[in-house]
Each structure stands twice: as C-alpha cells, then as structure tokens.
Structure 1
C-alpha cells in the first residue's frame, strides 16, 4: 500500500481491521485505491512551492511562469511530435529544448535589463541557437573624415599594406580596416549588407572544435623524416582553437573564445591568449628531443609559426620546430629530426558528433558480457591480444558476449579476422571521448587484408567509435555445407559512430588514395547491416539472388561517400543492382545507389542517380532525388516539386532544377566543412525535411530553426533604430 493508504487504514478501529483480515482484506484494498489518489494530491501540494521558481519547477509549469513575465515563445518550435522525431525517440531532445525553454525563460528579465548592449547579442546566440558568436558594430568600421580636434583612433582606419594581421582579418569578425558604406540591410536574406550606420553583424560559428589527444603524427616519408602532419591520415587539416568562455559575460568575444582556425600570426601574439601547451589548443611532444630527457611537450619558445607550403625546402633553425597551423604541418631541422616519433594533441573542425571522434557516446552491452580493455595503461596492448584472451575465457567457461574497449587515441596497426561461434556477441568499441585509429595495411601475401567478419547462427558484431583506414570491412558468409545447403550464419553487424575513410585513405589535399575501393563489402552473407552516425565509403553487395532473400541494410544519420558522383555508393559493382532492401534516413549520399528495393528513404540527400529494381514497394519522402532516378513512389521530394510548379515551361523547369541542386561547403572528406550545406543552398533543401529542418546527414542539428529563432530574438532585443543580422563565419567555397 501507499503511505497515505497505510495512514488511513491505521485510523480504523481494531475491530474493523480484524474483520477485514478475516474476509481477505477487501477494505484495505479499497483504501489502497483511495490512498493512491490522496498521495497524488499531497505530492502536488508539496510541489507548489518548488513550482513557483523557474529553477525547480516541473516542465509543465515553465510556460505559465513565462506568461507571467510576458515571455513570447519562438515561432519555429513546431508541433510536439511532428515529423520523424516522434517515431524515432518520442519528443527528441533538440525539439524539447525549444518547446520548454527553461533557461531562456529564466534569463528573460536579465536580458531585458541589458537590452541595447552589444554583448547581449552574443549571449542570445549561445542561449537561443547554441552557436558561439562575435558581435560587431559596423558603423565603427565606416570610412569617414575625422576632425583633428576630435579623433577616434579605435575606429576603422585606412589600409596599411604592411600590416599583415589587419589584412588577414579583412571582412571577418575581427576586421579593423575602414570600409565605404553598404546601403543593403544587414538582415536581408537575399544579400546581406554590412557597413552602415544602423547595422550590427553577429558572426556565428557553426563548426565545432573536436579534440584529438596524444595521437601519433603522420610522418611524410616521401619528404624525409623531418616532415609531419598533425592528421594521422597525412592530409592537411587546419588547427582549430579550443574555445574558452569569457571571464566576464559583458566582454565581447575574442579569438580565444571562438572555435575557428588558428592563423599563423596568432601564435605568440599578445592579447590572443594561450594556444600552445598541454590541455590547450594544440601541443607537440617528441621524446628525447632536442636533447635526451628534454621536457615534453616541446616548450613554447621552440615553436615558430611558418608557411610550410613548400616544407621540403623550408630551412628550420636548429633547435626549433616550424608549425603551420593553417595546413596542420610540422617541420623539424634537417639534421635534427626526432628519432622516437612525434605525438600531437590538437583540435579540428567539424559540424556534428558523427564518425570517429573524441566526443561523449552512450554505450551498452549484453548482460554478463566480458569486458576487455586495450590501451597504454591497460592489461592488453593490442586488439588481437584481447581477442586471444576471450578465446581462453571461452575454453574455461561459457562466455557468449564480450566487449573489447580501447581507452586511448593511439593507432593500432593490426590485421583482424573475427570469427564468431553461434550465439556469440562481440563489440569492438572506443571508450567515450576516445578516438582510436585502426590502420589496416597490406600485410597478408596469400589472403585478403582488412577487417574480416564471419559468424555462426545468431551471432552479432558491433564496431563503435573507431576510425578505420588503409582497408575496408568485409562481412563474409560461411562456406556451403554438404549438399549445397547454406548454414545459419551471422545475424547482424552494426557500425555506429565510426569513420571508414572513403577511398581507404586521403592525400595531403584530401583527394582519396583508392577512390574505387569500397569501405564495406557484404559477400554472400545474409547478415543485416546497420550504419548509424558514421562516415563510410562505398557499400558493395555480392549475393546469390536464387538461394537467399535480399540483405537488409539500414543507414541513419550518416554520410555515404563514393568519392565521386559517377561511382557506386551502394551497389553490386559493374553497374548491377545490389540484392538488398535499403532503409535510409537523414543521410547524405555521394554517388549512385543501385539496389533491389528501397523500403523507405526520408529526409535524405541522394545526390546522384538512384535505381530500385522493385518500384511497387517502398516510399521516398521529403528527400532530394536526382531527375534521372528510378525509385518507388515519391512524396514531397525535390526537384519534383519545383518541376511540377514550373508547368510546361521547359526552360524554367531546368532553371529551377539547377537552383535546388544541393550546394555544400565541401565534398572532400578531411575538410572542416565536409558535407555541410552552404549558406547559398536553396531553402527547399535547407528546410525541406518533414519537420522543416534540413535534408541530409546534419538534419538533427536543426540549423534552420536555430537561425529563425535567433533572428526573432535579435529583432526583439536590438536597440531602437538599429538592425542586427546573422553572418556565418568559417564558410568555405561552395561545392
């Protein structure tokens, strides 16, 4: 019974309780029902005091408190549960924060007191949209004639061609040069102006800075033993600032407070804040360099900024280390290269928690699973050693489930062949906030290199949180039994939060090393494949269409990159249909998709030709599908909608088709803006999902809603006669 029911029952006279016991406690059962409702009422009364404060109130009370202070909800919240979010996980967290903005309601009165201050606009960007930002008053950068008796040295000044730092910051959030007037409105959606008296620009930074900790630098052996890249893949990767919060909320953001690429002139510059050192934006360690037992990481006074465009010719002073943060390159003196390798910690830029990265990931494992940890300070130094230990445990006792967890961000160069017995389950995963690299090399002479996965009946394999380079993943079926019968085999393979480098690797300019090679091969297997929050290359399916059913492939919140629009992203090679049933949601696919059937495709960007063998089943909805595609029934897709709206005008139809073609910041893996929709992309794509978010892999960032909500708040809190507009920083050339 509840506490209230027990109290009520104790108030009854003893004679009634005795008679109730003799009859099987019917009276106590009645009081239990009454007491439950009494308990609800008492709990509600006890919460009345807490529900009077925004910090402690229940979620239902937040709108009522907001109404008391005149809080106006944002128009872009959308209907609760509308779109795909309700189907995936109920009311998703991003939408919940918009519908029940507890923090915004709590700060409303404080914001009203600060209305008209420049720093408030940066606070709004962080609280409403979740974007770091820097606010700039453009009237201070207008070119105007000053009186000699009333000079303004802090205003914009004429260009000094010898001032490299000022020229580097031209037209950016830290511009200090004078400009002529721009009469366009700063808040215009067509073409935003900047330099005008009433204009205030809010430079927002959509890219995030992700850390890589204590990982080996890539030695460029073709250039000698003194040249290294920060990226373990050997590509040029700009270093990003690890942003720090302002000491005072009324301060205007400085470079150290924003996740942006590091400029060469910022290294060691006064007033910028520390960038180099352990726990800071980047650090370099080379054991026993420049002398035996030298302090690590390398002291800051030995680091010199340099333009290492031609780094094989660059002469590094003895005892110094040249660093190019723009390209992510390191050069040592010609006769002073480190002998024991180089380890780096740095930050790179990307849009979201996708692929292998040092971000928090939720993990789970079967009950009673054996946990084996691999790492510098763990029991096992290699993955194969942990696999061997599991084999020993299986011989001693029945252990059907195991988890091999890697607890650091080192590079593991191993050849892995995983064979699971019937009923076994194996997870190969990275610990939360770690990004280990699995480097698969050409080591086997008479066999196949790469990560090979085979299994018996009802066996399962999960790859979680790793970056795989050098080769792909092969999921192979078992050999046929006597009589040609196919035995039971591997049940499913899950790849989540992983990066299977498209093209197996990338060059310095991010071109793929093996552009035609697939990242995942499904060879004569009936195992289903699930890819979540990952970046993968092409998927190739080889199956017996006579003796088995189509393979189930599900891809969610991921990027599938065939490295070219002409190559197969999902197929069977030689332009043949993959014998698979595909379900794809919130993904960006570069390359052609040729499959047996598409059960469902939603909120996806299928940039190139799609061909499904069975058109009478399945559905494609709220997606971009190229004109030449052959798919199941399409609903609310582009460019179908704009072509239908064009009527019979063929010229207008072609113009509209070209207009809604998705535009990206970059389509090369390894660049910060990889697969990010460009600011000039058509609204039909940027707001084309079923919940008015953007199509593609970054759907769940809800960037259109963030933009609209921030614009609404800027209009509300901007000073009279002033206009604030949003300008996207770190925006590269569109692709």
Structure 2
C-alpha cells in the first residue's frame, strides 16, 4: 500500500494553526480523505499489475486464464469468495499462477514427455518422471524378420523380448520403479482408469510417476551413538533407522527428462556404492564429519567411505573405513577411524509436509525491541541455562531465547515466568535443535518444566525437537504456545521406530489455568491434572497437528488414572491416534479421530466433517464418517462391511517413518475427500492433495500424446 498523503500539511500555516486551536477537526477530516485517496492510488496502480499473471490480483487469474484458453477447475470462484485463509490456499491450488503462465509454452510442446513432467510440477507441485511403457514391452519376433535382429532393434529402439539377467543386480533393483528398463508382458487394464484396477504395460500407456513427499534437509546435526565400544552410529539423532534420499538437482532445461538425480529418490546401497561421488560430500545428499564441533569443518574423506549392509550390525569395518548404510541410515567406524570428540552429519530424509519443526521457513518477523539471548556455537551463550539465568537477571517483560544451531542440548531445564512476562524458547530460522531430557534425578520428574509464578505469564516453545522425557506445565500461567515442535510420542524411539515408553505422556498440565495452543506440531499423550470441583475446565486448542498416543487403544487426551480430562477441546485439521476422554469438545473439524471419543457434556459443541469410530460418545455430529456411510445400511453384516471399509488407512503409523500418518491411496474417498472443502481429513488437509490430483489428471488428458493414455503412479 502506498503511503497515506498528508493533506493537512498542504493547508496554509494560519489555517493549520487555527485548526489546531479549535480541536483539529479539519485535520481529522483530511486524514479520512487522505486514507481514501491512498486506497484509490493503490487501486489504480493495481490495474496495471492486473495485466500480468505474476502480479495480478487473485480474482484476475480466472480472466487471464480465459484469454489464453486455460480451463479453470470448478470451485475456484467459490473458494476465492469464501475469504478465509484455507479457502485462499484452495483457490491457489485450483488455478496455480505458474500453470496459467505456462499454458502457451506448454501447448507448443504438447505431446512430449517433458511437458507432462512440467504439468506435475506446476499444477500439483509434485516432482515427476514421465515414462512411455511401450518401450518396456516384450515384442514377439515376426517370422518374416527372423534373424534380422537389426531391423527389430531399429523398430523397437532396443532388443525386444530380452529376458531378465538375474546376475544384473543393478537392473533388478530398479524393477517396478520409474527407472525400470526391463522387458514386461503386456497388461489388459488401462492406466488411465482411477479407482479401478490399472495396468501399466500396454502400448498406449504413459505413466507419470509423482512423489508426494518432500526432501527434508538436516544440516550438521549430531549423529546418535548406539554403541560407543564398537563405534556404531545412526544418522537420526533419535537413534531410529531412517532412509536417506537424494538431494534433488535442478534440471538444466525445461525439455530435460527428470533422472534419479533430479528427484527425491531413496538411495539404495548399490547406487551409493557405484556412484558414491554423486551422493557424498558437502552440498550433496549426505556428509559425515568426525572430530571437534568447533574445529574447521573437515568431512570424512571420500576414500574412507564404504557402502555396506549394516542390518543387525554384523558387518565389520576395516581399520580405516567408515561404513555407511543409506537404506537404514547407519554408520560404523573402523578402529583407526575412531571419532575423537563426536560425529556430525548432514542428510536428507522424506516426509509428507513441513510439520513438527525443521529447516523450513516458519518464523514471523520479530520486533527489534524484544531482547534476544542467543545460544549455540559462536553465540553469546553455550548452554540454554546460561541464557535463562541472564534473562532472570535482566527481567524484561518479553524476551526470546534462540538456539542458533542444530545441536543436541542435554540439560535439566526449568523455566519460571513472572507476572506479565512472556518468554519464548525457539530455534533460529532454518534450524532444528534437539532437547534431550535425561534421567537426572531419582526422586522427582525430569520433564521440561514450565512454571508460572504470577498472573499473565506466557511461555512459547517454537521449532524444537524434545526427546527423552515430556513437558510439564504448572502454576498460574495464562497461556502456553507450542508451535512447530515435536514432543516425541513415547519419549524416544527404538531402531525400528517403535516408541520406548509408549504409555508415557508428552505433555502434563498440572494444577494450572493455562490456555494451551498447539499449532503444526507432533506430540504424544496429553494428561490434564486439575481440581474439577473448584476450577473451570482448561482451554486446549490444537490446529494442523498430530496427537499420537502410539496406539488406538491408548488415551491421547485424558485425566489422571484414565479419568476424563478437565478441559474443553478445540481441534481443527488434526490427526489423533488414541482415545479422547475430556469434559467437552467445543469444535472438532476436518479431523481424523482414530480412537473412541468420550465427553461428559454432550450438549456443548459440535463435531463436523470428521472421522471417529462407531460407539463414540460425542456432542452433535454433522457429516461425519462412518455415520454418513451407514445411512440406509441394512442388516448387521452390511453395517460391518461398511465399518471395515470406511476407516483411515495410512502409509505408515510410526513416528520416524517416511510416510508418517499420510493417507494411503487405498484409503476410502469418504476420508480422502471427506473434509468440508472436499480435501482430505486430518493433519495434511491444507495440502489439498485430492484437488491437486484431480486437476493434474484433467491437465494430463489435455496434453497427452495422440493415441496414448496417461495415468498417475504415486511413488509411496
């Protein structure tokens, strides 16, 4: 917006003086006129910007698209008119500016594989690789050309009908992947028939392989020592196995067909062994440092890296070797390559979304007047408690303790916030530090303590990974905000991502009046301990987050000893694994509640566009599943079949896995498209993946080569 003109300053001086003496009514009137003049100037300037797709207002995207023949997806105007943030995000997905801008150039390349890959990136924002399956079909050699192998190769572009060489391990590793070049028999089903059995290998089939998960970077973070005597480590700081993926390299030109180096592909052992220089080193897919952290960064030399299978830790490295298993994310050092003071790693792993903290953008602009105490290498303080003690000595009304690296901090942390104070403990932009809470005391809890010592005290946790113990909130805190954090469900992980303490809570609210706000975070069970007789229920608001009790038969929200939590819950666009036992639910919207719900006050609140198991005791429901699917069901057998079909199916259920709580393709449409705006229920609702899929299929039909049929193949 342009600056508001000061019309009063244009008046003669004697008029300004007289106006000031009589109450400045004229100046106030001219300020209102100046505000409207500024809005008019902005509107006139925007008229010029509306000529270009890159700068036009959202309402003009539809008109510019119509000028170039772009077909706007249905629901765009309605989503734009809704006005809220979720609707604006949906409108951007239904008509991406980039796709509208590329319409003309895409039509010039219509029928090529590269334009199909471009469509996947511009329409759905998914990395993609297009494959013509006719090139992988086995061809019967004609009798009249028997012996003329050269003619057949010229027609097919390869040797037809070639059997698989079982000694070619590299080719066997690629079977069923987007890079499979082995010969296959033809299949009758068509690839372009969503919702039915599809077949890839037929002469008309063109497959567009898309990756729904993103490559999440972890930069110079500490590795986890599994066995110090044998020098065994994992890339993950939590000690669980995590597969490494490629750091995608941008394609050189738009007509280039994506290869494995351009996509977030899982790194196999054979590929890492054969092409190790492509994957290892600074700026590539993974790097290992050994030595002092504050020393000049010198990675382990490439000549010392050996790729091997470390399943069961049976492989014994040589004296000077550093053995890496990219499939499991494990490291083993030889006796002469022993790390003296620690091991640090950089790598990439797959995850469905920017959630629970990470190196993605997440921080709002911080006012410069707010004092910031920085912790980390090269910062003012080495430990969090040192910054906290300085904050206690200074006693500002509002302050930030910011961790500036990806290190692991092992401290006993207790924060006391005074009356009217607000303290934020956060990670710096692009960082994700780990708070490792250990078993410090034998006679008291070792949780991260947040305590209020006066009215109006507020505490914020932002961008942190907390493992080993949970968080305890006590005292007269007014508000606790948890944003972009992960409180590891079950405290910590075993090697196969199983929780070590599945029944332990991640968050305990004990005799406090704090309003709890959780946004874009991952955490385990919440326990509310409160005086139910003399106090009102707590307010708990959870948005775009995961609440994981590690099993559907455990309590995700509860009171002590399995009683009802003395709390009123607001939950929006969340995935909850486990039972919810609470005083009341004010609103539950677009959620997956994979565990029975039990509330005390059924007359309060509403649950809408959610999944929750049959037999739950809830307030009134609107358009929930499986209630809607059960309408008109007949006998008990039919109801049983519907209940078995309409339930959430996830790619993976365990925290630490690549497809954590991502809806599988086999999940029924009642859940995949069951939200209020026809997006999926649950924590990944804002990705609008059903709309992206539909829009991409529609665009593929428009740009598919003549005589071919294109279909989507999800690589997860």
- What is the TM-score when the length of structure 1 is the normalising length? 0.89
CA contact (8 A) 1:665 1:676 kept: yes
1:481 aligned partner = none
Report the Cα distance in structure 2 between the residues aligned to 1:651 and 1:381, rounded to whole angstroms. Answer: 64
CA contact (8 A) 2:73 2:95 kept: no
1:123 aligned partner = 118
Q: Which string of whole-angstrom CA distances, capped at 9 and with x for unpartnered residues, describes residues 631-651 of structure 1?
A: 0001100000111132x3221
Q: In the TM superposition, what is the alpha-carbon distance from 1:392 to its structure 2 partner?
A: 1.8
1:170 aligned partner = 175
Report the Cα distance in structure 1 between the residues aligned to 2:306 and 2:178, rounded to whole angstroms. Answer: 25
Instruction: Identify which of 274, 278, 288 aligns with 1:274.
Output: 278
Structure 1 pair 367–29 and aligned structure 2 pair: CA distance change class (3 A):
closer
CA contact (8 A) 1:237 1:348 kept: yes
CA contact (8 A) 1:75 1:709 kept: no
Instruction: Identify which of 568, 581, 589 aligns with 1:594.
Output: 581
2:690 aligned partner = 704
Matched ranges for 1:153-192 at <5 A: 154=158, 157-189=162-194, 190-192=196-198
Q: In the TM superposition, what is the alpha-carbon distance from 1:68 to its structure 2 partner?
A: 1.9
Is 1:432 the counterpart of 2:429 in the alignment? yes
CA contact (8 A) 1:537 1:569 kept: yes
Matched ranges for 1:597-608 at <5 A: 597-608=584-595
Report the Cα distance in structure 1 between the residues aligned to 2:397 and 2:45, rounded to whole angstroms. Answer: 49
Three-state SS of the structure 1 residue aligned to 2:63 is helix
1:473 aligned partner = 471
Q: In the TM superposition, what is the alpha-carbon distance from 1:41 to its structure 2 partner?
A: 7.2
Report the Cα distance in structure 2 between the residues aligned to 1:555 and 1:40, rounded to whole angstroms. Answer: 37
Matched ranges for 1:121-160 at <5 A: 121-146=116-141, 147-150=148-151, 151=153, 152=156, 154=158, 157-160=162-165
1:69 aligned partner = 68
Report the Cα distance in structure 2 between the residues aligned to 1:102 and 1:318, rounded to whole angstroms. Answer: 56
2:90 aligned partner = 95
1:344 aligned partner = 345
Greater Cα offset, 637-646 or 27-36: 27-36
Structure 1: tracts of 5 or more residues without a match: 11-15, 478-488
Report the Cα distance in structure 2 between the residues aligned to 1:31 and 1:216, rounded to whole angstroms. Answer: 61
Report the Cα distance in structure 2 between the residues aligned to 1:644 and 1:185, rounded to whole angstroms. Answer: 33
Structure 1 pair 33–663 and aligned structure 2 pair: CA distance change class (3 A):
closer
Report the Cα distance in structure 1 between the residues aligned to 2:400 and 2:479, rounded to whole angstroms. Answer: 16
Q: In the TM superposition, what is the alpha-carbon distance from 1:334 to its structure 2 partner?
A: 4.4
Is 1:213 the counterpart of 2:214 in the alignment? no
Structure 2: tracts of 5 or more residues without a match: 142-147
Q: Which string of whole-angstrom CA distances, capped at 9 and with x for unpartnered residues, describes residues 149-168 of structure 1?
A: 22156467421111111111
Instruction: Identify which of 646, 665, 668 aligns with 2:654.
Output: 668
Report the Cα distance in structure 2 between the residues aligned to 1:36 and 1:589, rounded to whole angstroms. Answer: 47
Structure 1 pair 20–520 and aligned structure 2 pair: CA distance change class (3 A):
closer
CA contact (8 A) 1:550 1:596 kept: yes
Q: In the TM superposition, what is the alpha-carbon distance from 1:409 to its structure 2 partner?
A: 0.3
Report the Cα distance in structure 1 between the residues aligned to 2:446 and 2:37, rounded to whole angstroms. Answer: 68
Q: In the TM superposition, what is the alpha-carbon distance from 1:58 to its structure 2 partner?
A: 4.2
2:510 aligned partner = 523
Is 1:250 the counterpart of 2:252 in the alignment? no
Is 1:513 the counterpart of 2:517 in the alignment? no
Greater Cα offset, 301-310 or 204-213: 301-310
Greater Cα offset, 667-676 or 274-283: 274-283
Three-state SS of the structure 1 residue aligned to 2:494 is coil
Report the Cα distance in structure 1 between the residues aligned to 2:364 and 2:533, rounded to whole angstroms. Answer: 38
Q: In the TM superposition, what is the alpha-carbon distance from 1:187 to its structure 2 partner?
A: 1.6
CA contact (8 A) 1:202 1:726 kept: yes
Greater Cα offset, 713-722 or 42-51: 42-51
Structure 1 pair 526–59 and aligned structure 2 pair: CA distance change class (3 A):
closer
Report the Cα distance in structure 2 between the residues aligned to 1:204 and 1:235, rounded to whole angstroms. Answer: 27
Aligned length: 700
Three-state SS of the structure 2 residue aligned to 1:62 is helix
Q: CA RMSD in A?
A: 3.1
Report the Cα distance in structure 1 between the residues aligned to 2:345 and 2:21, rounded to whole angstroms. Answer: 78
2:144 aligned partner = none
Report the Cα distance in structure 2 between the residues aligned to 1:30 and 1:451, rounded to whole angstroms. Answer: 55
1:483 aligned partner = none
Three-state SS of the structure 1 residue aligned to 2:190 is coil
Q: In the TM superposition, what is the alpha-carbon distance from 1:595 to its structure 2 partner?
A: 0.3
Report the Cα distance in structure 2 between the residues aligned to 1:294 and 1:381, rounded to whole angstroms. Answer: 18
1:464 aligned partner = 462
Q: In the TM superposition, what is the alpha-carbon distance from 1:707 to its structure 2 partner?
A: 0.4
Three-state SS of the structure 2 residue aligned to 1:74 is coil
CA contact (8 A) 1:186 1:724 kept: yes
CA contact (8 A) 1:141 1:155 kept: no
Q: In the TM superposition, what is the alpha-carbon distance from 1:21 to its structure 2 partner?
A: 14
Three-state SS of the structure 1 residue aligned to 2:477 is coil
- What is the TM-score when the length of structure 2 is the normalising length? 0.91
Three-state SS of the structure 1 residue aligned to 2:114 is helix
CA contact (8 A) 1:132 1:258 kept: yes
Structure 1 pair 606–54 and aligned structure 2 pair: CA distance change class (3 A):
closer
2:553 aligned partner = 566
